[in-house]
Amino acid sequence: MSIEFIPYGHVTTPEGFVAGAVCAGMYASGPKAGQPDLGILFSQRECASAGVLTTNLVRSAPVYVNEKRLPAGNLRGAVTNSGNANAPFGNAGIAEAEEMAALAARHAGVPPEQFAVCSTGVTGVVLPIDKVRAAIPGITLSREGGPDFARAIMTTDTRPKQAAVAVTEGGRLLFRVGGCCKGSGMIHPNMATMLAYMTADAAVEPGYLQRLTKKVADATFNMVTVDGDTSCSDTLLVFANGAAGGETIREVDPAASLLEEAFMAVATRLARELARDGEGARHLIAVNVSGAATLGEARQLARTVALSSLVKTAVAGNDPNWGRILVAAGRAGVRLDPAKASVSLQGVPLFRNGGVVPFDEDDVHGRMKADEVAIDIDLALGDGRATAWGCDLTTDYVHINADYRT
């Protein structure tokens, strides 16, 4: 069996999924004015669904709606707008979110409760539902509409983020997994600050799909950090419709490990792209931790180092300041013995077993000019391993967020 990325794959690459987008006029000005800002993703067949939502206690209206609908495990679609998060907070906005889902469901020809709803953009502003009412009838749903949907959900993103894989055996296609996401700022775990959608044309038992979704989110999207701010809108939605044929996959089946590997591959690609496209970023940072006492401690340490402002600014300046890395690791709240720890940067050992390793600073400085910078930390305490993805911190980040509304 093999799992291979499909060139130019996207969220509607799996069989039986369609999507489309239009401009509803959510942006009065700026680069997205006149661009698609309202999209629908839909399964043409009944399907299993699952999701993970933000843990932020201040939540957008769509999160409350999705929280009520996800347990049924039978969602068939999602409607999403950018430019407005529908987060006036409290009970405000829920009626608009429910109407938005109902409008999309009517357009797709299914009951309202089978649609999720997501909104992303400026908070504290009431959603202009009249614009949604006017625009949804103009959305054409097609198998080729995945890329349009991915562009419609963007806010400060500089490019759409999408991927798909094919799972084959002996040259025979078993199933495909696709996905797309948006996120550039307000990115930090719990669950991970973004909107993400994943699809599969395999048939999957709903309870297992929910457990798999949480497992995938913890290993990928929850290991992304840009700026330490979590959003009120974070949502990951997963749909599996069985259009590829085959038996329904349960957690105990041999095919479950293959399904998990495919979902992990797509989610990892998307998670890396979230960090790579962090607001103002010039470098993707991959923090690889090994030798931690537990998996949880490895993840905690990797996220702490990836989030450190001093580490992020050192990477921005191509500065091999390994001391910042080690000190950030030391405040992660996990077990760490400096006498056993080792740190490498771009594959070059800088610190080992409590002592400095002589290195050519100019050489490492040059290596850090690459688009991706790898930080490797070995604690030599156990078998815990994890990777977190982040980005450098530049002055562009300040300008993007200072000028976001004005």
Q: Taking a C-beta distance cutoff of 8 angstroms, is the pair 165, 266 a contact?
A: yes
Which residues neighbour 275 within 8 Å (Cβ) at sequence distance 6 or greater? 187, 224, 225, 226, 281, 284, 285, 389, 390, 391
CA dist 204 and 293 (Å) reads 34
And the tokens for 382? 């156990």
User: Which of 83, 85, 46, 47 minimizes the C-alpha distance to 64?
Assistant: 85
CA distance 167 to 163: 14
Question: Shortest CA distance to 38 belongs to which of 94, 84, 3?
Answer: 84
- What are the residues facing 196 on neighbouring strands? 181, 236
**How many Cβ atoms from other residues are within 10 Å of residue 92's Cβ?**
13
Q: Are 101 and 115 in contact (CB under 8 A)?
A: yes
The answer to whether 53 and 234 are in contact (CB under 8 A) is yes
Residues facing 119 on adjacent strands: 81
Of 80, 74, 14, 45, give the one whose Cα is nearest residue 263: 14
d(CA 149, CA 36): 8
Known active-site residue 193: yes
Backbone angles phi, psi at 384, to 5 degrees: -70, 130
Tokens 């800002």 identify what position? 37
- How many Cα atoms within 13 Å fall on the side-chain side of residue 331? 11
- Does residue 41 sit in helix, strand or coil? strand
Helix spans in 277-337 (H): 295-307, 309-316, 322-330
CA distances from 86 to 215, 266, 329 (A): 28, 28, 37
Of 12, 80, 193, 235, which one is the catalytic site residue?
A: 193
Measured between alpha carbons, how far is 379 from 342 in angstroms, rounded to an integer?
Answer: 7
Give the bridge partners for 372, in sequence order: 284
Give catalytic residues, as residue numbers.
193
